Amino acid sequence: MGCLVIPVLLIAVVMAVLLYLSSHTTDQLIVPKDEVVKVRSQPADTAPLMARFGAGRRLNITGRTDDWRWLEIRLWDGRSGWARRPLSILVWQLDAELKSGVLTSAALATPVTPVAETMVTIPNTSFTMVSPPGRGESDEQPAHVVHLAGFDIDRTEVTVGQYWRCVETGACAAPAHDASPSAPHYLNDPAFDNHPVINVPWSAAKQYCQWRGKRLPTEAEWELAAGWDMARRAKLIWPWGNSDAVGPVNVGDGAMQDPMPVGAFPADESPSGVLDMGGNVSEWVFDGYKVDYYRVSDATNPIGPVHQRGAGTGRVIRGGSFADSLYEARASNRRYQAVAYGYPTVGFRCAKRR
């Protein structure tokens, strides 16, 4: 009798385990910590990239290959694509129908040629930080001369594609939100890889620049690169000059109401040859904000207020965005945002001391 009981118990245990596993499978995938799920048009690492998702994102699984190495992921607009199954996600945890992995027209992805990451050299320079007479706010006064050591600054804003490369190495956190004002999948869809990255908090922008061997520009460096004409030793109102730009710019009445590819508005070029400092997106800089900082600013290589008492709650942002008026796009204009959040109108660029 005992010889029969033991096998029956074993079978019961095995059946119970199988029943438990089958009842706890899921057709969703939560991207594991410190990982990026890349969705491609076919189950192959060489297939065109369709989307990226950072840690914590919940994705719907609609199929699998026969070896479970690739999962079919539902995207948007009726599309789907293929992602490698994260090794930390076990096969028995998933519920997915076997699919062929054949490319369909709905899954086609158009590769984007990355924008070259170039820098502009700014030599040792002294210039005056102030708004032109009759313009500006009280925090843009008084006029004071600062002396800056030579530095390099990114010619364009950091792009979506550039930032995701940092996320893929584990050095940067994925942006907190996916959407721009008119594109719900702005930060997931590689079609936007040459657009400026947005929704990135100040600390994440700082981390990216450090990963690249750079840093955020100081407020003084940003203003110098944006609005100082070194040939004429003159301060400009906007990066392009003291009157209307000679072509379209992504700010003010003619703005596109969304970020556009970096460098797409050649009229928005400063005398130093830096692009998009008047419009497209506003930009984080290094300095903490203090309304009367110009009264106590260091004369040489200022880095913002050391003591934050009375300095507000955030870090300085500079430049206008697609959502701002021309008044906000002035090279001398100062604003700030809370550091804990990313914003759909704020990106950044990097700099480094020579």
Kindly state the average pLDDT of the residues 337-342.
Answer: 94
Confirm if 63 and 71 have CB atoms less than 8 A apart.
Answer: yes
β-strand partners of 61: 73
Confirm if 192 and 50 have CB atoms less than 8 A apart.
Answer: no
Q: Hey, where are the domains in the chain?
A: 27-107, 119-353
CATH number of 119-353: 3.90.1580.10
Report DSSP state, residue 196: B
CA dist 152 and 349 (Å) reads 11
Does domain 27-107 match CATH 2.30.30.40?
yes
Q: Would the pLDDT of 171 be above 70?
A: yes
CA dist 238 and 318 (Å) reads 12
Q: pLDDT at position 20, please?
A: 43
pLDDT tens-digit profile of 25-39?
789 999 999 899 999
Exposure of 6 by Cβ count < 10 A (0-12 exposed, 13-18 middle, 19+ buried)? exposed
Tokens standing for residue 276: 């998009």
Q: Where is average pLDDT lowest: 18-32, 171-185, 289-303?
A: 18-32
Q: Would the pLDDT of 143 be above 90?
A: yes
